Structure 1
Amino acid sequence: MFIDPMLLATAPGPFSDPRFIYEPKIDGHRLLFSQQDGVVRLYTRHKNDCTHQYPELQLPFDHDVILDGEVACVDPVTGVSDFEAVMTRFQAKRADKIMRLTGELPAYYAIFDILMYQGRDLRRLLLRERKEILANLALPSPSFGVVPHIVGTGEALFEQIKARGMEGIVGKRMDSVYETGRRSNSWRKVINWTYADVYITGYKKAEFGWLAGVADERGRVCPAGIIEFGAEPTERQAFYGVAQQLVTGEDRDFVFVEPRIRARVKMRNWTRAGKLRSPVFERFII
């Protein structure tokens, strides 16, 4: 059984509130664990069945249950989630590769909510009541764990998360019910953004997107990803007005420009390939 998960609103910055609990934000992908009549199915938040990608999570609980959480690959030394590693797991399709990766990049299911248990729908219970039930749930193996939380002190937790280079925190109202399939201010994420200055080296023809580049140690501008969010209409208009004078060529999908326009972006982090992960335009650099 699949349940559309409750989604997060975005807070403008870290905050503290005695009505909220605060959890570390796990840097993986959303995973709904559904056990019905003893059969386990795993789903992404878009209802993609990913059961076979994670053999180590196909373990039944003592009773039928639906759980909400995040699947991650955790660095055993730092304790920090590796997003690229879990994407490697998620994208694996062949059975032999999946089994190999199970050993090389073991998955961990970080559980933060319980939606159904023993045939009872828990979504109308308050979050603090659901957390009590979850805390007493017997887990089937060390590949499963419950996300820890603290009450009220979100700003202090965010500083700890930032110092460790983790993704961010989530604040949740203790008296909130589970709002299926919608984004709610009762759950708010605070991202630990990284910032970078880049060159804009081109743009998409079909829809909005600016090609970003960064200079290497020799001063050459190398591709670093595509900026698709953050730019307001006035900023887009200003860019295209200048970019028309800097065009150097084009292909089927992109128009390329001289790397003269610079911008500040915020992002989740750098990928191992030196690309911006989820960049968001902040402002032009004069």
Structure 2
Amino acid sequence: MLASLGKEPFDDPDWIFEIKWDGYRAIAELGKELKLYSRNGVSFIKKYIPIVDALQEQQHEMILDGEIVAYNEDHLPDFQTLQHFGEQHNVPLVYHVFDLLYLNGHDIKSLTNIERKELLKEALVESDFIKYCDHVDGKGVDFFKAAKENNLEGMIAKRASAPYSEGHRSGDWLKIKHHNTEEVIIAGFTEPRGSRKKFGALILGRYKNDTLIYAGHTGTGFDEKSLTEVAQKLKPLIRKSSPFDVTPKTNMPATWVQPKLVCNIKYTELTNEHIFRHPVFMGLRIDKSPKEVTVPKNEKAMASKPTKTQNVKTAPKKSKSSKKQNQRKIKDAC
């Protein structure tokens, strides 16, 4: 089940509110054969061994829906930290489970959200690597405020009475963001300048009415490892012509690629033309299909027109005491 874009936090006794995690959505099938995979079918079995081992300890035959999250040094869910999990196995890793689709021979997707969560809470065996994702009832405004104070990604609002609509982007689930993050498709890259190797910037796009439209370009957020990784994945996708119906102008010669790779970005503003300003590369998304990366119907522009580049202030470093406070707040929230 997929969430639509929500406009702003709200209070409603008929809704529940959960943390919007900053990780990989994952389905776990627990039966004769254990499966753990992304929403587009990519297996996580060999990638996240601690979670797989913990799933082996579950006591019921279940299909779980949740999100795999890695925690950074500030004890916050962090997508970039998750990207480097394979290199740093001491990174705290948790599968936050928020839904139950099948239990001991019974398909329960037709039950209400609340009924499924009640069954999930009873059936799930929690551990350091698997956690039940709790929620609050009705009080979305206060919950979103707490999410912002903890510097979390945002929140998910869910209609308490809704069934689980598999593969459907429903208005019964709404994502309400705190951070300006988005998924985009890599449609090409420009030649490098100066000391940069591999490529200069990625050319980004999204689908609108089945047409790929330009969404901006990003040349920041890379280290040597991510530059190399992305370049290697782009090389076999190179094509002669632009994948856009309307080819954007670039400040350096462009190489076009098949629009098959999806990445995460964070950005400062969004223009009326649905172009991201100051996008920063956060990592590749192996869990999403390019066809899922569309311009939401109710997407709201944050800037009326492109303006001159502005300096983006960086957040001050947090003290150790604030890190501990954040850790406690997150634990209380979910």
2:217 counterpart (211, 215, 218): 211
CA distance in 1, matches of 2:31, 2:202: 50
Cα distance change, pair 78–204 in 1 and its aligned pair in 2 (3 A):
closer
Within 5 A, what are the aligned runs for 1:161-180? 161-180=147-166
Q: 1:145 is matched by which residue type in structure 2? A: K
CA distance in 1, matches of 2:96, 2:167: 20
Structure 2 unmatched ranges of 5 or more:
182-200, 206-211, 221-245, 258-267, 271-275, 284-292, 294-298, 308-334
Cα distance change, pair 51–190 in 1 and its aligned pair in 2 (3 A):
same
Secondary structure in 2 matching 1:180:
coil
Aligned equivalent of 1:17: 12
The offset of 1:269, in angstroms, is 9.0
Structure number having the greater strand percentage? 1
Aligned equivalent of 2:269: 264
Structure 1 residue 41 corresponds to structure 2 residue 22: no
Structure 1 residue 136 corresponds to structure 2 residue 122: yes
Secondary structure in 2 matching 1:141:
coil
Secondary structure in 2 matching 1:19:
strand
CA distance in 2, matches of 1:202, 1:78: 29
Aligned equivalent of 1:229: none
Equivalent residues of 1:194, 1:269 under 8 A apart: no
The offset of 1:141, in angstroms, is 2.6
The offset of 1:185, in angstroms, is 0.5
CA distance in 1, matches of 2:151, 2:48: 26
Aligned equivalent of 1:82: 78
Task: Give the percent of matched residue pairs that are identical in Structure 1 and Structure 2.
Answer: 25
Structure 1 residue 150 corresponds to structure 2 residue 136: yes
Equivalent residues of 2:269, 2:278 under 8 A apart: no
Cα distance change, pair 143–248 in 1 and its aligned pair in 2 (3 A):
closer
Equivalent residues of 1:72, 1:86 under 8 A apart: yes
| Length-normalised TM-score, structure 1 | 0.68
23-32 vs 58-67, greater mean Cα deviation? 58-67
Structure 1 unmatched ranges of 5 or more:
1-5, 90-97, 196-200, 215-236, 255-262
Structure 1 residue 67 corresponds to structure 2 residue 64: yes
1:282 counterpart (302, 318, 323): 302
Q: Which of structures 1 and 2 has the bigger CA Rg?
A: 1
CA distance in 1, matches of 2:82, 2:4: 24
The offset of 1:270, in angstroms, is 5.7
Cα distance change, pair 285–9 in 1 and its aligned pair in 2 (3 A):
same
The offset of 1:32, in angstroms, is 0.4
The offset of 1:248, in angstroms, is 5.7
CA distance in 2, matches of 1:18, 1:268: 38
The offset of 1:212, in angstroms, is 5.0
CA distance in 1, matches of 2:50, 2:110: 31
Runs of 4+ aligned structure 1 residues displaced above 4 Å come to 201-207, 266-273
CA distance in 1, matches of 2:2, 2:279: 22
Q: Deviations over 1:167-212 (max 9, x none)?
A: 00001011000001110011101011349xxxxx997799624335
Q: 1:250 is matched by which residue type in structure 2? A: P
CA distance in 2, matches of 1:202, 1:140: 41
Secondary structure in 1 matching 2:34:
strand
Equivalent residues of 1:8, 1:185 under 8 A apart: yes
Equivalent residues of 1:167, 1:191 under 8 A apart: yes
1:27 counterpart (22, 37, 59): 22
Cα distance change, pair 151–164 in 1 and its aligned pair in 2 (3 A):
same
Q: Deviations over 1:231-261 (max 9, x none)?
A: xxxxxx9xx7xx7xxx76524349xxxxxxx
Q: Deviations over 1:58-89 (max 9, x none)?
A: 132112111000000123x6431011121233
1:181 counterpart (163, 167, 179): 167
Equivalent residues of 1:169, 1:191 under 8 A apart: yes
CA distance in 1, matches of 2:107, 2:168: 18
| Length-normalised TM-score, structure 2 | 0.59
